[in-house]
A and B are shown apart, each in its own frame.
Chain A
Amino acid sequence: QVQLVESGGGVVQPGRSLRLSCAASGLTLNEYGMNWVRQAPGRGLEWVAFISYDGSLQHYVDSVKGRFTISRDDFKNTLFLQMTSLRVDDTAVYYCVKGATKMDFWGQGTLVTVSS
């Protein structure tokens, strides 16, 4: 049974950093492209970042370029999102999502709140 379990969310001050993790079971992450997608409170979905199955490609939405980094640990079968220089408008539930174009499996999300 496929499971994606996000962790690492919490309350952080503007300008600080946070690292999100997504532990996978029932699938091997290095066989699939993976995404982070976020949803601000009461708002719609926003795609944030993608990493290819072999880790050679990473893509980001313009608003996080230079601040967020997507990566993967194949030994731990875990996906990461390193977030730096956090802003108030980064406040959202962050979902880990399997699939390059299909996005067919979603974790339950972890809430990041950026507030002073």
Chain B
Amino acid sequence: QSALTQPASVSGSPGQSITISCTGSNSDIGTYDHVSWFQQHAGRAPKLMIHDVTNRPSGVSNRFSGSKSGNTASLTISGLQAEDEADYYCSSYTTSATRVFGSGTAVTVL
């Protein structure tokens, strides 16, 4: 039950696009499309941004998009805004019927 691997930090200028990767294994991301992405601002509870690889919940900006290839999922934030500065976590369902989170990525808007 090792955590999924994410880069510790990603940064970009306002208006740019950034992509956060999330690498797992054949026991999680590689087998299931139950990959989610969460945004967490400091001192706040996480918020679901993407579920089932590509799906955005109602109310989430279409600047956020998800994808998956093999054992790696990705979150892309387009048109980066100051309000996007936060920590981002991926998660996946696993072959053990458990759930696993990524190590987290701090996004900085320059």
CB neighbours of A109 from chain B (8 A): 45
CB neighbours of A27 from chain B (8 A): none
Check B84 for interface membership: any CB of A closer than 8 A: no
Pick the contact of B46: A50, A60, A106 (CB < 8 A).
A106
CB neighbours of B45 from chain A (8 A): 95, 106-109
Check A46 for interface membership: any CB of B closer than 8 A: yes
CB neighbours of B48 from chain A (8 A): 102-106
Check A44 for interface membership: any CB of B closer than 8 A: yes
CB neighbours of A101 from chain B (8 A): 34, 36, 51-52, 93, 99
Q: What 7 A-B pairs have minimum CB-CB distances, sorted nearest first?
A: A101-B34, A44-B104, A47-B99, A106-B45, A45-B101, A102-B51, A104-B48
Which chain A residues have a beta carbon within 8 Å of chain B's beta carbons? Answer: 35, 37, 44-47, 50, 57, 59-62, 95, 101-109
